[in-house]
A and B are shown apart, each in its own frame.
Chain A
Amino acid sequence: MSQPAPVTKIWIMRDYPKCSGCRLCEVACSLKHEGKIWPEASMVRVFMQTPGVEVPHLCTQCSDYPCVNSCPTKALSVNQTTGAVAVDNEKCKACGICIKACPGKIPHLHPDRKRIVICDLCGGDPQCAKVCTAMGFNTLMIYPRVPDITYNLYAKTPADLTKNLAYKFYGEKAKELI
Chain B
Amino acid sequence: MANGYAGKLLEVNLSRDKISETVISERILKQYVGGRGLAAKILWDRLGKRWSTIDPLGPRNILLALTGPLTGFIGGGRTCISGKSPASNGIAGSTIAGEFPIELKCAGYDGIIVSGKAKKPVYILVTDGKAEIRDAKKLWGLDGKQTLKEINHEVNDLLEKREPLFGLWKDAGVLYIGPAGEKLCRASAVISKWAHGAGYGGYGALMGSKKLKAIVAKGTGPLPDVADPKAAQALLEREYAAARDSWQMRVWGTGAGGFRTGNVPSSEPQRNWQEEYHNMRSIGVPNYETTIWVKRYWSDYGCPVACEKLSCVTNGPLKGAITDNPDYEAMAYCGTNLGVYDPEGNTYITSVVEDMGFSSINGANIMGFAAELFQRGILTKEDLGGIEPKWGDAKAMGELAKLIAHRRKIGKVLAEGTYRAAVEISKIKGIDCMPYAVQFKGIEVGAHGMRSGLGFGAPMGIGYALGTQGGDHTSQAKPPFGEADVTLGDTMVFCTIGTRITRQEVWDFYKAVTGWTITNDEWLNTYGRRIVQIQRAAILIGGPDITWDAARDDDNPQRWYQPLPTGPKAGSAPTHAEFLEARKKAYEAFGWDEKGIPTTAELKRLGLEDVDKALAPLRK
Which positions in A face B, CB cutoff 8 Å? 17-18, 20-24, 27, 30-31, 34-41, 45-52, 57, 94-96, 99, 105, 107-109, 111, 113, 131, 134-137, 157-158, 168-173, 176-178
Known: A36-B223, A169-B294. 13 other contacts (CB 8 A): A17-B295, A20-B295, A24-B75, A27-B302, A40-B221, A48-B99, A50-B148, A96-B167, A99-B167, A108-B168, A113-B166, A176-B145, A177-B145
Q: Which residues from B are CB-within-8-Å of A21?
A: 298-301
A97 to chain B, nearest CB (A): 9
Question: Which partner residue on chain A sits nearest B498 by CB separation?
Answer: A22
Q: Are B168 and A171 in contact (CB under 8 A)?
A: no
Q: Are A131 and B240 in contact (CB under 8 A)?
A: yes
Q: Which residues from B are CB-within-8-Å of A171?
A: 312, 314-315, 319-320
Q: What secondary structure prevails in chain B residues at the interface with A?
A: loop
Q: Are A23 and B165 in contact (CB under 8 A)?
A: no
0/1 interface trace, chain B 215-252, chain A, CB 8 Å (1 if under): 00001111101100100010010001001100000100
Question: Which partner residue on chain A sits nearest B169 by CB separation?
Answer: A108
Expressed in whole angstroms, the Cα–Cα distance for A177 and B27 within the complex equals 46
B529 beta carbon closer than 8 Å to chain A: no
B297 beta carbon closer than 8 Å to chain A: yes
B124 beta carbon closer than 8 Å to chain A: no
B230 to chain A, nearest CB (A): 10
Contact partner, B225, options A23, A36, A96, Cβ 8 Å = A36
Expressed in whole angstroms, the Cα–Cα distance for A10 and B60 within the complex equals 60
B73 beta carbon closer than 8 Å to chain A: yes
Q: Are A135 and B222 in contact (CB under 8 A)?
A: no
Expressed in whole angstroms, the Cα–Cα distance for A22 and B98 within the complex equals 10
Given A50-B152, A52-B295, CB of A136 within 8 Å of CB of B165:
no
0/1 interface trace, chain B 95-108, chain A, CB 8 Å (1 if under): 00001001000100
0/1 interface trace, chain B 115-159, chain A, CB 8 Å (1 if under): 000000000000000000000000000000110110010001000
Expressed in whole angstroms, the Cα–Cα distance for A46 and B165 within the complex equals 19
Question: Which partner residue on chain A sits nearest B324 by CB separation?
Answer: A52
Contact partner, B229, options A35, A57, A172, Cβ 8 Å = A35
Expressed in whole angstroms, the Cα–Cα distance for A153 and B233 within the complex equals 35
Q: Are A96 and B221 in contact (CB under 8 A)?
A: no
Q: Which of A23, A38, A107, A172 has the most CB of B within 10 A?
A: A23
Q: Which residues from A are CB-within-8-Å of B156?
A: 49
Q: Which residues from A are CB-within-8-Å of B75?
A: 24
Expressed in whole angstroms, the Cα–Cα distance for A4 and B299 within the complex equals 39
Expressed in whole angstroms, the Cα–Cα distance for A12 and B320 within the complex equals 33
Contact partner, B223, options A38, A108, A109, Cβ 8 Å = A38
Q: Are A96 and B152 in contact (CB under 8 A)?
A: no
Question: Which partner residue on chain A sits nearest B294 by CB separation?
Answer: A169
Q: Are B152 and A109 in contact (CB under 8 A)?
A: no
Q: Which residues from A are CB-within-8-Å of B312?
A: 52, 169-171, 173
Q: Which residues from A are CB-within-8-Å of B298?
A: 20-21, 52
Expressed in whole angstroms, the Cα–Cα distance for A47 and B301 within the complex equals 12
Q: Which residues from A are CB-within-8-Å of B165?
A: 94-96, 99, 109
Q: Which of B219, B295, B300 has the most CB of A within 10 A?
A: B295
Q: Are A38 and B222 in contact (CB under 8 A)?
A: yes
Q: Which residues from A are CB-within-8-Å of B320?
A: 170-173
Q: Which residues from B are CB-within-8-Å of A170?
A: 294, 312, 314, 320, 322
Tell me the residues in window 273-326 of chain B with beta carbons closer than 8 Å to chain A beta carbons: 294-295, 297-304, 306, 310, 312, 314-315, 319-320, 322
Expressed in whole angstroms, the Cα–Cα distance for A47 and B171 within the complex equals 6
A147 to chain B, nearest CB (A): 29
Q: Which residues from A are CB-within-8-Å of B306?
A: 20, 22, 137
Q: Which residues from A are CB-within-8-Å of B223?
A: 36-38
Expressed in whole angstroms, the Cα–Cα distance for A142 and B403 within the complex equals 52
Q: Which residues from A are CB-within-8-Å of B146?
A: 176
Q: Are B295 and A41 in contact (CB under 8 A)?
A: no
Contact partner, B243, options A48, A49, A96, A135, Cβ 8 Å = A135
A55 to chain B, nearest CB (A): 10
Expressed in whole angstroms, the Cα–Cα distance for A178 and B72 within the complex equals 28
Question: Which partner residue on chain B sits nearest A135 by CB separation?
Answer: B304
A35 to chain B, nearest CB (A): 7
B193 beta carbon closer than 8 Å to chain A: yes
Question: Which partner residue on chain A sits nearest B312 by CB separation?
Answer: A170
Q: Which of B222, B236, B250 has the most CB of A within 10 A?
A: B222
B464 beta carbon closer than 8 Å to chain A: no
